[in-house]
Amino acid sequence: MKFLKRTSQKYNEMSRRNLPEYGDLVIGTVIKIYDHGVYVSLDEYTEESLQAYCHVSEVSNTWVRNIRNVMRIGKKVVGRVMRIRENQIDISIKRVSESLKREKVQEIKHYKTAITLLEMGTKKRKVDFEVARTEVEDPCTNYYGSFYAAFEEALFKAESAFLEAGVSEEWAIILATIAKDNLTIPTVEIVRDVELICWEKNGIIVIRDALLEAKKEDKEVEAEDGELSLNVFTRGAPIYRFVIKARDYKLAEQLMSKAIDKLEERLSNYKATVQVMEVTKK
């Protein structure tokens, strides 16, 4: 992602909802510590005084002798909402895995980026920010599930990404340009080393043709231009390295599965074997 100047406005950290729901993951800042637990100010919600309580037994998966050894004022935490009562929200910090914590933190970073991009748009259109949220953020969130996803889609579909969500053409053109100027296309990479052995007299040709057919499978996966690529390299016969770059792991794994299936299909009529040797994710 290219550098974005962070706005100082408080709304940069706010969700459009006033309250979390049961089971939600929330991110917050520890503001009070007691022997029995901690109070956390919830960073995402529009009610500035909204707090959650985490009992000492829900702070860590290990026994906590002194809560101040694991908690400090100002610490950022991710918790799962366990109960919502009239005047209190109870959360558990220990019931959130490390992977979910990372995903939540990334979600918040993406949301802040989307808000910053929207603020750029308001300056170009000279529109009140709250009006912009209603006209752009709300429909995009409803359509894509997250506001940031609309800007990612715009990297592939330009203004169509916003138009599909119900955003006006004026907004769509401006925001698509802002996305292109400030974001980079996200990519992931997966690698498979595949052993291909053929005992036929023309085995080299059989394997070559099978590899060429497998490479064509990128046309069989539904994806936008630039979202997907498959390359095959020889590590030294009989090992061939498949490298797939894609927008996300789901898309990459889908193509890899199709490529391996095509190899097995093409070689099934010969004295040949296909064996995946190694899996690497970057």
Residue 151 belongs to a domain with what CATH number? 1.10.150.190
The domain in which residue 84 lies consists of: 24-95
Does the bond joining 238 to the residue before it have cis omega, within 30 degrees of 0? yes
Q: Which has the closest alpha carbon to 78: 92, 64, 58, 61? A: 92
Higher pLDDT, 227 or 72: 72
Burial of 175 (0-12, 13-18, 19+ CB in 10 A): buried
- Say if 4 falls within a structural domain: no
Enter the tokens of residue 200.
């036929």
Contact indicator for 185, 226 with CB cutoff of 8 Å: yes
| pLDDT of the residue at 49 | 74
Kind and range of the H or E element at 253? Answer: helix 249-267
87 and 106 housed in the same domain: no
Beta strands in 65-187 (DSSP E): 76-85, 88-92
Residue 108's contacts (CB-CB under 8 Å, 6 or more residues apart) are 13, 27, 43, 44
Confidence of residue 47 (pLDDT cuts 50, 70, 90): low
136 and 149 housed in the same domain: yes
Split into its structural domains, the chain has a count of: 3
* 109-130: pLDDT as tens digits: 999 999 999 999 999 999 999 9
28 and 53 housed in the same domain: yes
Domain end (from 182, 197, 223)? 182
Contact indicator for 263, 210 with CB cutoff of 8 Å: yes
Per DSSP, the residues of 175-191 read HHHHHHHH-----EEEE
Confidence of residue 281 (pLDDT cuts 50, 70, 90): very low
Domain end (from 182, 209, 239)? 182
91 and 104 housed in the same domain: no
Contact indicator for 143, 150 with CB cutoff of 8 Å: yes
* 154-188: pLDDT as tens digits: 998 999 999 999 999 999 999 999 999 999 877 88
Instruction: Name the region of 23 (left: φ>0; alpha: ψ -120 to 50; beta: rest).
Output: left
Confidence of residue 17 (pLDDT cuts 50, 70, 90): low
| pLDDT of the residue at 91 | 97
Rounded CA separation 176/169 (Å): 10
